[in-house]
């Protein structure tokens, strides 16, 4: 598939109202109310017990000093507190640029499931809100926090809204974007919910395109391989 075709597919997916996607269909969500014995699709997707077994991870990129600038680059949390990625060193990380109004927004459900399952094993998701793709993260920090906590029960760390492409690209993404995914893509982030798994020792990074879901067995394999030994 050409890069143009990939972008077209992402545009089609993310032009949908997230409230109308299969994972967020009000009929599905309310199904458990109409039939108390039948769990909702959303609840099932968010249950860590329902995450699949790991598959085969794509080759990771070995890194050394390439990440030095990223670890100490200043950034603020969604609540406005100063932080940096170095505060999470020693944990396996899943870095994701997120948005509240994208067709891929229901990925929050399985991102949170991963957080619940692996946090005690030395892992965390970190979300980076970004409004560069179709203007799909237009709200304030308070809007984003309220949306994520009330609609998806997000507990993992979230940063302030940043740019991941262009002249204003944050230092973290200046470091990440030269790395290739398993299809050879390097450079700009393509859309909301592109993912980078960083091993706990900081020596390996595996990049995944936006449509690779958080519960994809190959992503889970990369995550588990990156956990502290």
Which residues carry out catalysis? 102
Closest by alpha carbon to 96, among 193, 172, 181?
193
Task: Identify whether the C-beta of residue 201 lies closer than 8 Å to the C-beta of residue 35.
Answer: no
Tokens (6 digits) for 173: 């993404």
CA 204, 225, 82, 153 torsion: positive or negative?
A: positive
- Which tokens hold the place of 13? 């997916």
Positive or negative: CA dihedral 82, 86, 91, 92: positive
What stretches of 119-207 show up as alpha helix (H) in DSSP? 141-152, 171-176
Q: Answer yes or no: are the C-beta atoms of 153 and 48 closer than 8 Å.
A: no
Mutual orientation of helices 141-152 and 107-118 as an angle, nearest 10°?
70
Q: What is the DSSP string of 138-158?
A: -S-HHHHHHHHHHHH---S-B
**Measuring CA to CA, which residue among 213, 49, 223, 15 is closest to residue 125?**
223
How many residues are listed for the chain in this entry?
229
């Amino acid at each position: 598939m050409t890069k143009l075709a990939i972008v077209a597919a992402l545009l089609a997916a993310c032009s949908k109202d997230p409230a109308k996607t299969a994972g967020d269909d009000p009929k599905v969500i309310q199904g458990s109310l109409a039939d108390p014995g039948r769990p909702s699709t959303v609840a099932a997707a968010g249950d860590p017990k329902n995450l699949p077994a790991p598959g085969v991870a794509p080759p990771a990129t070995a890194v050394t000093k390439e990440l030095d600038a990223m670890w100490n680059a200043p950034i603020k949390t969604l609540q406005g507190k100063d932080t940096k990625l170095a505060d999470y060193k020693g944990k396996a990380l899943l870095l994701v640029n997120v948005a509240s109004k994208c067709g891929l927004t229901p990925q929050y459900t399985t991102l949170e499931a991963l957080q619940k399952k692996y946090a005690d094993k030395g892992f965390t998701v970190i979300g980076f809100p970004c409004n560069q793709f179709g203007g799909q993260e237009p709200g304030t920090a308070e809007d984003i926090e309220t949306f994520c906590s009330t609609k998806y029960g997000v507990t993992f760390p979230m940063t302030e809204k940043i740019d991941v492409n262009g002249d204003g690209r944050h230092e973290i993404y200046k470091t990440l974007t030269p790395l290739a995914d398993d299809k050879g893509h390097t450079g700009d982030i393509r859309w909301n919910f592109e993912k980078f798994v960083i091993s706990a020792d900081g020596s390996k990074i595996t990049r995944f395109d936006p449509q690779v879901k958080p519960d994809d067995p190959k992503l889970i394999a990369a995550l588990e391989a990156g956990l502290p030994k």
